[in-house]
Structure 1
Amino acid sequence: MREADETTRRRIADALREEPATPSALAVAFDLTPDAALGHVEHVARSVGGNGEQLLVAPPTCRECGFDGFDELLNRPSRCPSCKSESVDEPTFTIE
């Protein structure tokens, strides 16, 4: 594993301890793509458990019908499986 990845993951974890963030917000803050930010968040989710902390995820939510029962919480869905709307808010992550 590259040291730069570890540093980015540590910085992402520290940021999520301070305030909730979406993949897009993390991508902007850390100069990543949203998909790369999600990859880092997945790793952070596995590593924080050893500290007695946990990654909390507010699920993606459809702005049209309110659906929030997405199967994969660590994902940026492109559309709602219920109403097929493409107006879906990203998940929000925080560490507590």
Structure 2
Amino acid sequence: MYRKELIKILLNNPMSVHELAVAMEEPIKEVRDDLQHLHKSLRHSPYQIEITPAKCNQCGFVFNRDKMSKPSRCPQCKGTWISAPLIQIREK
């Protein structure tokens, strides 16, 4: 039931893992684990997950699209002003 709720919340509504954890009143680690499982299980459904990657606001470095949690530092400029990745679900 919990993963179905994630689909309803994220359907055409981009959110970060932290925002989603606050909305679901669950620990961030649990939400991140469920999102990773959901990412695999959506392959056989009418939905697809889209991840807008994290980006360094200082130098513009774009992180890997697979990473769902916010990185702590930029590998290029070592800055910490990083926007969190946004996750949303869309219909195929």
**Secondary structure of the structure 2 residue equivalent to 1:57:** strand
CA distance in structure 2 between the partners assigned to 1:14 and 1:72 by the alignment: 21
Which of these residues, 56, 74, 78, is aligned with residue 72 of structure 2? 78
1:44 Cα deviation after fit? 1.1
CA distance in structure 1 between the partners assigned to 2:21 and 2:53 by the alignment: 18
What is the TM-score of this pair, normalised by structure 1? 0.82
1:39 Cα deviation after fit? 1.1
Which of these residues, 2, 9, 24, is aligned with residue 8 of structure 1? 2
Contact 2:53 2:65 in 1 (8 A): no
Identity %: 27
What is the TM-score of this pair, normalised by structure 2? 0.86
Which of these residues, 37, 41, 60, is aligned with residue 47 of structure 1? 41
Distance 1:33 1:59, change over 3 A: same
Give CA-to-partner distance per residue, 1:2-54, whole Å, 9 cap, x none.
xxxxx222111211114111001101001122232211111111111111321
Instruction: Give ranges in structure 1 of 5+ residues lacking alignment.
Output: 1-6
For these two proteins, the number of residue pairs brought into alignment is 90
| Aligned twin of 1:21 | 15
The structure richer in strand per residue is: 2
**Secondary structure of the structure 2 residue equivalent to 1:65:** coil
**Alpha-carbon RMSD:** 1.6
Q: Residue type matched to 1:38 in 2?
A: R
Instruction: Give ranges in structure 2 of 5+ residues lacking alignment.
Output: none
Deviates more, 1:10-19 or 1:69-78: 69-78
Give CA-to-partner distance per residue, 1:46-85, whole Å, 9 cap, x none.
1111113211000001111111133742232111111111
